[in-house]
Structure formats: structure tokens, C-alpha cells
């Protein structure tokens, strides 16, 4: 059970947990009838070890936190709707009933390490800022800090960018496009040696890539390991040499890659309208199931 009660507003908490990539459950009083601790629409957030906000305290809140903790333990993204008669089921003095909606949010983290803050790198950031990704933007020059950074972008000024490559989370998508071919080679080598990249993209011409392959071969890298590096990076079906054209090509390839890894969803998702209708109408005579669960 979460042990810390936090006074942070539930919306601020949800936004922070989402940005941190943490699994959380949003609890909403979807429908209330009769005497209840809080009104319809009241929300709270539960994550591992913390609660944000309140739905009125007492047995209802305790039961809801316990239910949310069980959902967190599954690691699943889902919705669950429960109808709770406060007096009959929980022994609370207020004799109303509440429909409680539990929404489990499991952030699908996509980490991107972008090495290089040149024209293409800056154009690419302008696209990545609107995608569900976390970006580590690395360069040895402080000049790239003169731009306002989006919320999902962390800028790292590194005298030795290879050190940053070695600190990245596992399963990161790497984009190598610095101003220095020697640095590009060192970065690619360090990333391949990690052996845990989701993707490695290298900007450059066919000639540059041929030279890199020869150097890797001389270093004893097998052809299979060398093929882990994609050069030129981006979609061949999106031509153009302008920075934004190249950035669109790269972003398109990234989107295709991380979307392909997402699990296929069923045609029908969420809670059925016939289940929600009596709750939304607040019809006290309508029969409602005790618990309805649906995968997102």
C-alpha cells in the first residue's frame, strides 16, 4: 500500500509521473448517489509508494487505494469500474453509493539519444518535441543551449560525448549526427559495444559509411554487428537535403520503428457504453455490476 500522502494536485502529479515514465492509477468518482464524502468528478492519483489528492478519506478511499495498488502490481494499462454502496459494503455512516473509475496508465517510454546540435539536429528537435518520446540531446558545444528546450528534451553539454553514450538507458534509439566524423565513429563504436540499443542511426554519405565499415572490420567487428548501424539514417522514400527534409525522413523512420514494437490493440477497447450509461445518468434504479474491467 502507498505510504505517503502528497498534497500535490492530482493533475500536476499525473503530468509529473507521466514525464518520469512511472506507472500510476487515476481514481475518479464517476457517479454519486445520496450522501457521499465527496462530489462527482473528484479524483486522486496512486502510484508506487505515493498518493496524490483525496476522494474523501475513510473506508472508500482505503478500498480504492488498495484496488489501485492491485492494478499497479499487474503492470497493465486498463480501466475498471466499481459500484460501491457505502453503508452496506463499507460500513460508512453516509448511506449513499459511489461509482469509482480506475484508470491505469503505463507510459510507453521511448528514449532517444540525439548526438549533434547542427541544423538537422535542431530541425529534428522541432518534430520530436510533439512525439511521445524522451530525448537526450548531446553536444560538446554550449551554443545549442541558446534555444528554448521542449519539456521532453534534456540537453547535455559533454566535453566527451562518448561518456554520455555509455550512460544512456538500455533500449535507447541512437541518432549520431555530430560535426566531426571521428566523433561519429567513436560514438558508433561505443554504442555497438554496449549491445543494448534499440536502433543506431548514422547520418552521412555512402562514402562515409564505406570508410566506417572498413574501420570496424579492422577492429574485428563482425558483419552482423556492423549491420546494427543504419547509414544513411532515415527513410529512403523521403528524399531531400534540406535540414527539415532530412529531419522528417529520420523522424518518420523512428516513428515506424517504435510503433512497430507496440502491442496490437483489440477493435473494442474501454468500458462498454451500456455499462457507463446508467452511471452517467445517475439512475439509482438501474442495475450496475459490482466490477467491470477492460483492457485499454
Confidence (pLDDT) at 95 = 58
Residue 88: band (very low, low, confident or very high) from pLDDT cuts 50, 70, 90 = very low
132: domain CATH number? Answer: 3.40.50.720
Q: Give the whole-angstrom CA distance, residue 111 versus residue 172.
A: 5
Asked if 26 and 145 sit in the same domain, the reply is: no
Residue 235: band (very low, low, confident or very high) from pLDDT cuts 50, 70, 90 = very high
Q: Stretch 274-282: mean pLDDT, rounded? A: 60
- Asked if the bond preceding 232 is cis, omega within 30° of 0, the reply is yes
Confidence (pLDDT) at 21 = 76
Q: Stretch 239-257: mean pLDDT, rounded? A: 96
Asked if 174 and 273 sit in the same domain, the reply is: no
Strands across the sheet with 229-230, in order? 153-157, 134-139, 111-115, 173-176, 199-202, 229-230
Confidence (pLDDT) at 285 = 47
For all residues of the chain together, what is the average pLDDT? Answer: 84
Asked if 135 and 224 sit in the same domain, the reply is: yes
Q: To the nearest whole percent, how much of the chain has pLDDT over 70?
A: 80
Confidence (pLDDT) at 264 = 62
Does the pLDDT value for residue 16 go beyond 90?
Answer: no
Contacts of 5 (CB under 8 A, 6+ apart): 50, 51, 54
Asked if 72 and 147 sit in the same domain, the reply is: no
Does the pLDDT value for residue 205 go beyond 70?
Answer: yes
Taking the whole predicted model, whether its pTM rises above 0.75 is answered as: no
Q: Which domain holds residue 234?
A: 111-260
Does the pLDDT value for residue 276 go beyond 80?
Answer: no
Asked if 203 and 72 sit in the same domain, the reply is: no
Structural domain tally of the chain?
2
Asked if 40 and 16 sit in the same domain, the reply is: yes
Asked if 184 and 237 sit in the same domain, the reply is: yes
Q: What is the pLDDT of residues 255-267, one digit of tens each?
A: 999 999 876 655 5
Strands 199-202 and 229-230: parallel
Q: What is the pLDDT of residues 121-180, one digit of tens each?
A: 999 999 999 998 999 999 998 877 777 899 889 999 999 999 999 999 999 999 999 999
Asked if 160 and 210 sit in the same domain, the reply is: yes
Asked if 12 and 124 sit in the same domain, the reply is: no
Asked if 122 and 232 sit in the same domain, the reply is: yes
Asked if 129 and 71 sit in the same domain, the reply is: no
Q: What is the pLDDT of residues 26-85, one digit of tens each?
A: 999 887 665 666 777 889 999 987 899 988 877 888 889 999 999 999 988 888 888 877
Asked if 155 and 202 sit in the same domain, the reply is: yes
Amino acid at each position: 500500500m502507498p505510504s505517503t500522502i502528497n498534497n500535490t494536485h492530482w493533475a500536476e502529479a499525473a503530468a509529473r509521473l507521466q514525464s518520469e515514465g512511472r506507472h500510476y492509477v487515476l481514481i475518479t468518482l464517476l457517479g454519486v448517489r445520496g450522501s457521499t464524502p465527496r462530489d462527482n468528478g473528484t479524483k486522486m492519483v496512486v502510484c508506487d509508494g505515493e498518493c496524490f489528492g483525496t476522494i474523501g478519506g475513510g473506508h472508500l478511499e482505503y478500498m480504492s487505494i488498495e484496488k489501485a495498488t492491485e492494478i499497479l502490481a499487474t503492470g497493465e494499462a486498463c480501466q475498471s469500474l466499481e459500484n460501491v454502496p457505502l453503508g452496506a459494503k463499507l460500513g460508512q455512516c453516509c448511506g449513499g453509493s459511489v461509482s469509482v473509475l480506475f484508470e491505469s496508465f503505463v507510459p510507453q517510454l521511448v528514449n532517444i539519444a540525439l548526438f549533434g546540435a547542427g541544423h538537422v539536429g535542431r530541425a529534428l528537435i522541432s518534430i520530436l518535441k510533439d512525439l511521445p518520446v524522451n530525448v537526450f540531446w548531446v553536444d560538446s558545444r554550449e551554443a545549442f543551449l541558446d534555444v528554448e528546450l521542449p519539456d521532453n528534451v534534456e540537453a547535455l553539454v559533454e566535453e566527451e560525448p562518448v561518456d554520455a553514450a555509455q550512460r544512456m538507458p538500455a533500449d535507447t534509439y541512437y541518432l549520431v549526427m555530430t560535426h566531426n566524423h571521428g566523433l561519429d565513429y567513436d560514438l558508433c563504436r561505443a554504442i555497438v559495444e554496449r549491445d543494448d540499443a534499440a536502433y543506431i542511426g548514422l547520418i552521412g554519405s555512402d562514402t562515409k559509411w564505406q570508410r566506417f565499415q572498413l574501420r570496424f572490420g579492422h577492429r574485428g567487428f563482425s558483419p552482423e554487428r556492423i549491420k546494427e548501424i543504419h547509414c544513411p539514417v532515415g527513410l529512403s522514400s523521403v528524399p531531400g537535403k534540406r535540414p527539415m527534409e532530412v529531419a522528417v525522413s529520420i523522424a518518420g523512420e523512428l516513428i515506424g520503428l517504435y510503433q512497430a514494437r507496440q502491442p496490437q490493440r483489440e477493435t473494442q477497447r474501454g468500458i462498454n457504453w451500456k455499462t457507463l450509461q446508467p452511471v452517467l445518468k445517475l439512475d439509482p434504479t438501474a442495475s450496475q455490476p459490482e466490477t467491470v474491467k477492460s483492457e485499454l
